[in-house]
Every structure is written in structure tokens, then in C-alpha cells.
Structure 1
Amino acid sequence: MSIKPLIRTIDPRNVQAVFSSDAASYGNRPLRHFAFSPLVGDGVMTLDGGRHEHARALIRPTFSKAHIENEGAYDRHVQKLIGSLAGDGSTVDLQPFLERLDLDSSTEFIFGESVASLDDPPNALQASHKFPTAFNVAQQGMGARFAMLPFNFLHRDEQFWGACRSIRQFVAECVQDAVTRREKNGNKIAMDYILVDNVLQESQSLTEIQDTLMNVFLPGHDTIAITLSNIFFHLARHPEAWRKLRHQVLELPEITTENVKRLDHLQYVINETFRVNPPVSNMTRIAIRDTVLPTGGGPDKTAPVYVPKGTVVGCSFYNLHRRSDIYADDDGDTESWRPERWEKLKLPQLAWKFMPFGGGTHICPAQILAFNRVAFTVARLRISW
């Protein structure tokens, strides 16, 4: 098995070609399926073409405006988080608490059953449920299988397979619970903000439903936690931004998704954090037929680049977000976290230049949900402190 050639790019024209205008020439499945399928099966993360579109259609109704703005269920987890934090002015490491918030809210939203890790004592993370521990083991195994390309067939790890079986059993039980709820509810959706209940309306295959749920959970379960951790990391080092944010939040009549959307400084804080610390720093595709990238070749680097079948194309969103011709401030700086730069930057003008959730046919379906929950949580915590 030969090593696959690799091209890296941060040119917006090439990024657009790979993820949108020439997306049919590139695939996910040859890169991801071996590594991820033991846990997630077949779904939006591991399929291409028509099968990918079908898998995406199964989850699309749940991410409509009516569902993503059902904030009451999410706020219950945020209130648990606030209650778990020390109120005596002592220093707190927020990251583990934010991870538990994301885990609890995402398992409820996706599977209909929260693992309730925030109910555990602070020094007993993941003590009450085997799911988080098993998922960490599975993630490590998938990372190893992905990194071993083209020698991933050599991967042997009984703990990995045991973790996958444990998680799939948990998901199977959640699906069966949803079936029971649906039957008791006259074959109608029992809980309209729960993904499993909605997917059950779209498919009768229990395996397909389980795969669909895991394909949402795997990429999305820690995105909010990572983003929130990065936001508070930066705010702790920029007191003026913290004070400005506090002033705006305190002027709100109440914390709701609609109200926090009006806070321009909060939007700047979130966008700048996504710029400096994108949730996915690098994304790859593999050419499934001979094709070309629009630019990057020739003596002046402006000619098209031939991409033979089997070539891996990597797009670094981390470096794309640091291009000086797009993001430099008056001092030419792109490295510093400075929310004020978004007073001039306009999202409609940053297509294929700002990619916190990817783009094209594989763009994250939960991007609006993630942004809303991040904004809501920051505002809620800011009011509480």
C-alpha cells in the first residue's frame, strides 16, 4: 500500500473548489470510514454523494429554527453548571465543568437521555456513567486508526472495540426508549427537540438511526465546550473585553437566545475566538478522480494545480484565519485575539475565508445551534458572576 501524495492549501479559491464547486471530485469515505465506522457506522461523517445527502436529510428537520431555539432544556444544564461552581471567589478551572455541560446537554439533545455528569461531585468526573470513559477510549482508538494511514489495517486494540460496543449498546437502548415513547404517543414525535425522536420519524431502520445519532454526536459533542473554554481563556487575559461584555449583558431584560443575538460585542468575541481557535483546525479530502485546484501552480503560484486521483488535499483553517491580506489589523497583526477587528470585518464578505464549521455540502448542520448555545452560555455565566 503506497503513501498518498498530499497538497496543503489556504487559498480561498482552492478551499471553495474542494468543499463546494468541485466537491464531487473529492471524498470523505476513503479517508474516514475505516477509522470511524466501528463507532459511528455509515452517516454524514463517513459517506459521500447520494448516500451522504440521504444521511443529512435524516437530521435536517431537527436543526430547523423551531428546534434549535428550544432553550429551556439547555438552560437547565447551564443552571446546574452555575450551581457546581464555587462562589467564594476562588480560582476555578472551567474547562472540566464546560466539558460536562456539553456532554450532558448533547446526550440529552441527541439520545433523549443525559448522562448527567454535572450531578457528580467536582472531583469525581465521569463517575456515574460508563459512557464518557468509553467514549474517550473510542476517540483515542479512532485517532490512532486515522493517523496510521496507509497502515491502519495493523491496528489491534481490544479496549477500542470494547468501548465501541459499550457505546453502541447505550445508543441502541436510547433508540428503543424513543420507539416506546413514540408508541405511547400515538406514533407521533414525543419530544420535538430530541434528535432521536425526530430521526425515528424519518427512518424505520434501527441501525441507520443509531448510525445517524453517532454521526452527529462524534463531531459535535465537544465543540461547544472547546469554544467556551477558549472564550473564557481569552477573556481572562483581556479585562477590558470582559468589562465591555458584562456591560452589554447586564443591559438585557432577560437572557434569551433572541436577546443575546443583539449583543454586537458578544458576536465579536465569539467570531474572534472561532478565528483564532477554530473548532476544526484542519480538514482533508481525497481526490476520487483526476481534477485541478484553481490556483497555486506555476512560477508565480497563480496557475491551476493538477490533482491526480488519490491525492489528499488538506485545508488548514487555522492558517487561513491568519492570512494577513484578510485579517490583519492596523498594525498588521493576525495572531492576537482582538474582538474589535470584527467591527470592520463582515461575514457576508468572508465566504471561504472564515471556516469555523467547514463549508459546502459537508458544512456542520448544527452550526447555528452551536453559536446560539455558546452565546447563551457566555451571557448566562456573565450575569451570574
Structure 2
Amino acid sequence: MIAALAATGLLGAGWWLAAGSATPEPAPTTIAMAAPAVAPPGSAPAPAAGLGPRRVRDPAELAAQRALWQQRLQRAREVRDAYAAATRYPPESRPAAEHGDQLHPGRPVQETMPLRMPGAPARDGFQLRTSQDRIYLQGDEAVRLSVAAVDDAGQPLPLAVTRAIAHEAAQGQQRASRYGQVDVSFRDDGQNGDTQAGDGELTLRWQPATQGFAELDGLIRIELSLQSGEQAGYAYFDVIYTPAAPATWLPGAREAVQDGSLNLLLKLQVQQAGRYVISGRVDDANGKPFALVGFNDTLAAGTRELALPVFGKLLRDGQPAFPLTLRDVTGFLLHEDRFPDRALLAAREGKVYTTRAHVLAEFSSAEWQSEERSRYLTEYDKDVAQAEAQLRQLSEPATVAGP
């Protein structure tokens, strides 16, 4: 479904969206450091620093001001420390726990929704379950789609697909499609991608390249008219198709300890130059997901080697069991100002490379540094220093002005 398309296609995080920067970071949160509240009418104003002795202020007012600035100091420190912690590793080498939705790119996208026609009210007792094992397709790849009807308790209901068609879906400016509608067939006979005959789940394994869409570069929609008893329904699936890969993987991989990190190096034969966004998953020796590693930079045409770094401090902090395994490498050439916004590379599914055993002392424990990170931390430090200065001023003993 299109909602699943939006959720799945972004690769989470979105760090690659800032295509003009190889190391984008979140914008800082500004801590407002307002002046202390105005003194109540009738009280003497506090003179500016260096202009003479200050008058004794009301103890309750001083206590309130100290409490206010103590809260601001605490908040400023929390924001600074949270930003420092969040950026201690680079965007291209992050803990697996931060990206649970990206660790298994081959898992189907599953949804449950009311079985109904568009615009019609939902009817109790009829639910539709859909499954789609991939959103993006490239070249000869195929997608597996399935639908099933269940009641409110999850028990199967009879379901028939009365009509199913595939067609190019219009995006942006309307234009006549060069591709006609193609009838497709969902089955429940244990064939063509169907896992079990007669279980009520109707399945289609569909390959755009062999169904008249071999040259299409864009969005394909598969629409279904459904019937369960007297209840009619409608559903659709969207896939984004790339006919030819802009680069192809070359065999082999290697590793290198560089600048205190463990780089996993892969080779590409690049046909189209541009910004490539690559993601890989790293598991420890026990099969536990450890890191999501990536590459986000421009590549010129030709044979190129790219590094997927496992950052040194991430290794030192996480202490994974070696050897590590790189698996499920996915990637695309980013198109910044068009739809589709990417041209896919063929996925390297399963194990891609296993490292040798390492000791943690080989890697650096230093935090990641960048000009942008340093600039943000400097501003956060200013917020902390301002709050500390205000507290010191409010804590100094006041003197009584002489005659």
C-alpha cells in the first residue's frame, strides 16, 4: 500500500536526504536564556555591573531567580549532553538498535484494513490482510503480493479477486501512459508464489520486466476488486520499478583498519555517475544485529571501491563478538529533483563478507568530529556558560549602598 511505500522507501532516517552533504546532522535546539523576571513595583532596580554597590534584594525573589536559572542550567546541560551523545558516531555508522525497521529489508510489508469499497463505510466482521515483500524492483526482480479476508476475530473468510490489473500510475503532471493495463491473476493453488493451496490467502508473484513494463521507470499500481460473501472491497499495491541498474556490484570484498575504524570495502562498476546511497547490515559472531553502515557520496563512472565503516568508538562501546558479518547490502543512485527519486542497484542479499577476528584495542575510542558538530557543541556550551554565570551572580552576597 502507498502508506507502506512511504514508510519503507526512506531507509529511515533519513540521513541520505541531505544529498548535498556527506555528513548531515540534526539542527541544534536553542535554549532560550531570558533575563530574570522584572522586579515588582516599588522595589529598587539592580544597578548594572561595575556601577556601584548593589542593594539588598528580597530573599524570596533571589530564591525564585536561582531556581529559575538552575532549571535553565539543567536543561542546557541535558540538551548539550544529548546532542553530544547522539553524534558521537558518524551518520554512516550507527548502532543497529537505532534502525530496527531497516535491519531486514527483505521482510514483507503487512497491513490490516477494513474490507470495503472506496468511500464506503466500514462494515463489522470484514477485514482485509495484505502482504508485499518489496516496494522497489529493479531489472528482472519480482514482487510477491497476497490478500486474505478475515473476520474481527482473525478467522479466515472466503475471498475472491473478481478483477486485478496492473498499470502505470500517474505522478505529478498528467500525461498519457505508453503502457496499457495488464490483467494479473491472484491464486490460492500453491503455485506462482502461493505458499499453501486452499488456505484462503490469494497470492501473485509478479515480474514487471516480463509483463510489458520492461522499459518503464516509475510507479506501477496493481488494483484489485474483491468479494467476500455479499461484501465487496477494493485494494491496491504500488511498486516502484527501475529497468536498468546505474551500477553493478563486482565480486569480492575486503576489510581494512583505517583511522581507528573497521572499513568494509566493496567494488562497483559505475555506469552512471552521481550520488550513491548504500546501506549494509552488520551482525556479530552470534548473529545479533550490531550496526547499520552506509555510504553517501558521489561516484564517477568506472570501477570504484567504497567503504562501509564500522566506527571505532562504536566497536569499543558495543564490544561485539568477532568475527562480524556484513549482509543484505542495498543501494541506489539518488535523483534529487524527479520521481522516482532513485535508480536501484541489485540487492546483495544474505551474507556478503565475514571479517577476521579483531581485538578492540585495534580501534579508536575517540568520538566522531566534524565542523558542524563542533559548531553546534560550541553554541550549546555558550548556553551552559550563560546559565552558570547567572547563577554565580545571583549567589554573590549583596551589599547595602552607603549614604
TM-score if structure 2 supplies the norm length?
0.23
Structure with the bigger RCO (C-alpha within 8 Å, sep 6+) is: 1
Q: Structure 1 or 2: larger helix share?
A: 1
Q: Structure 1 or 2: larger strand share?
A: 2
